[in-house]
């Protein structure tokens, strides 16, 4: 089993920045090969924001956040981060950390991820 715990959410004004962190614990050695961040706004489906391959750090980003959000990892600490810059009101959502073995091309879909954190709220005001 793998446990994921997010932190770093909060309220900011548009144009501001936040850094989300996710700590993984448990059977982290060979249980998954990707980390990802997803978000879900009220009344909307959960959407993938960014993913990273544990092996070499290759990243994938949703078009809506390219140039603004950056996913990174520290494998020695079993940590994954999401740096969010130039935040917009439409970024307001609950953000979730996930870990899993997504198939090629499905890095930002929920189906590829077996482990999920409880989420951290991000609110961006205009």
Q: What is the mean pLDDT of residues 12-38?
A: 95
pLDDT given for residue 31 in this prediction: 87
Residue 30's pLDDT band, with cuts at 50, 70 and 90, is confident
Tokens 């990892």 sit at which residue?
A: 73
Residue 97's pLDDT band, with cuts at 50, 70 and 90, is very high
Judge whether 91 and 72 are in contact, CB under 8 Å.
no
Q: What is the mean pLDDT of residues 45-61?
A: 96
């Amino acid at each position: 089993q793998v446990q994921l715990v997010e932190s770093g959410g909060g309220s900011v004004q548009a144009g501001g920045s936040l850094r989300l962190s996710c700590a993984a614990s448990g059977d982290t050695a060979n249980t998954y090969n990707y980390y990802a961040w997803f978000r879900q706004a009220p009344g909307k489906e959960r959407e993938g924001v960014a993913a990273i391959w544990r092996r070499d750090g290759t990243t994938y980003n949703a078009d809506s956040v390219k140039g603004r959000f950056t996913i990174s990892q520290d494998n020695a600490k079993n940590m994954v981060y999401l740096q969010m810059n130039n935040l917009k009101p439409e970024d307001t959502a609950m953000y979730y950390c996930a870990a899993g073995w997504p198939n090629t091309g499905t890095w930002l879909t929920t189906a590829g991820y077996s482990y999920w954190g409880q989420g951290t709220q991000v609110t961006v005001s205009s």
